Amino acid sequence: MNHSYWQPWSLRELVDALAAGTTTPAEALRRSRGRIAETDPELRAWVELAPGTDPATDGPLGGVPLAVKDIIDVAGLPTRCGSQLRADAVAAEADAAIVAAWRRAGAVPVGKAVTTEFAYFAPGPTRNPAAPDHTPGGSSSGSAAAVAAGQVPLALGSQTAGSVTRPAAFCGVASLVLGHGRFPVDGVTGLSPSLDSHGVLAAGVSDLALAWSALAGDPDPGLEAGRPPRLLLWTARPLGVEPRMTAALTSACSRLRAAGAVIDEFPEEQLAAQVTAAHPVIMAYEAARERAAELAVAPQLSPQLATLLKTGAATSEHDYEAALRTAAEAGTRLAELLADYDAVLGPAALGPAPARLAATGDPVLSRAWQALGLPAVCVPGMRTDAGLPLGLQLVGARRREAELLAVGCWVEAALRG
């Protein structure tokens, strides 16, 4: 197994170096482009690089190189959405709202990272830096690979099912899925308005905490010492979690308890299963309407996307509304539970990245939380005996990203310690 491409670049270390003057935005950009030139012929994480980028110097991230998933508009670059239907797309005239927000924080878009076709299941060409013969996951495959390979210290993704959490887990990096509606989605080619959320990927949770502080203007959650958290353990065994992941989760819980965490059993496995089943109904119904133009040319789509859109077109409004009610009722119950706990802890994926490139893995462990619109953090650091990355998942209360990141930083440090 070849691990030579796995070399994440710490955002926190770069920002400290920029602040100290030991590096400059121009040097950071040169490092990014140099690493891309060195590794991307094999990894293929990028669709197109921005020409002649002038590093920004304002904002707390002043000059940090940023990858942007290719369903998100960047002024001057086309948005092709991983689809031949968009092969001749013209350059966007303006940044997506989320890209504009990151620019204000000082990040510099280096280019567009590979996405699966319209952010669904048909994989792009990207390989996994941690294990090049294994899938990098999807749909934010290019973003996860670019961070895992050290091509950039920060990347933007999006999640409708498990499109950020799963690639992060497979590639051995950290991710934050923002709660639904936390930032505008203007300029993003979406799939399901009730489910689409922004995502961020970085080397570690501490890096995500710094990024969140820069984006949202909150105090840096990574600098909060914090008390040991109270967690609800969600094993998700009925959903098909592999023994290697179950063993990693059990080991992690032992280490976290030894460090002072309180970990109780998640009491609503059946409720989570019901929301997991409701999610694809919502997704298919809305995707058929959001991507109606693509449905009209279904023979030109991948079988995966064509099936999703046709399924959604055949889904009744009654079934769709019932699925929405299931999610709403579960959301009320989960809010009650999380009033007494800091987060739900569980596996981020069923296991390590599968040894194939023709599929992106199963997003089932993210479906419930995505249907509920809750923020989620993938904590890297666990590995199989063969060295494949395994990610853990923390899910927090609505609009509590900063608090969730503080918990994630504590968990990350305890697992390392």
Q: Residue 132 — φ and ψ, nearest 5°?
A: -60, -20
| CA triple 41-144-57, angle to 5 deg | 90
Residue type, 297: V
Give 243-259 as a 3 state SS string. Answer: HHHHHHHHHHHHHHHHC
Element (H, E) at 318: helix 317-338
Nearest to 304 by CA among 351, 363, 370, 355: 363
Contacting residues for 56 by C-beta, under 8 A, at least 6 apart:
25, 62, 63, 103, 106, 107, 108
Q: How far apart are CA 28 and CA 51, in angstroms?
A: 16
User: What is the Cα 178 distance to its own chain's centre?
Assistant: 9
**Residue 375 CA: distances (Å) to CA of 198, 368, 394:** 10, 12, 8
| Total count of residues recorded for the chain | 417
For residue 139, cis peptide bond before it (omega within 30 degrees of 0): yes
Residue 392: count other Cβ atoms within 10 Å of its Cβ: 26
Strands (DSSP E) along 186-247, which ranges? 197-202, 230-233
Nearest to 195 by CA among 376, 374, 398, 396: 374
Q: Which residue has the tokens 């280096």?
A: 110
Q: Which residue has the tokens 């509920």?
A: 372
- Can you say whether the dihedral through the CA atoms of 157, 403, 397, 391 is positive or negative? positive
Residues with catalytic function: 69, 139, 163
- The order of strands in the sheet holding 46-49 is 46-49, 108-113, 65-69, 154-159, 197-202, 174-177, 376-383, 389-395, 343-347, 230-233, 262-265
Contact criterion met (CB below 8 Å) for 371 and 279: yes
Nearest to 370 by CA among 237, 241, 211, 180: 180
Contact criterion met (CB below 8 Å) for 121 and 304: yes
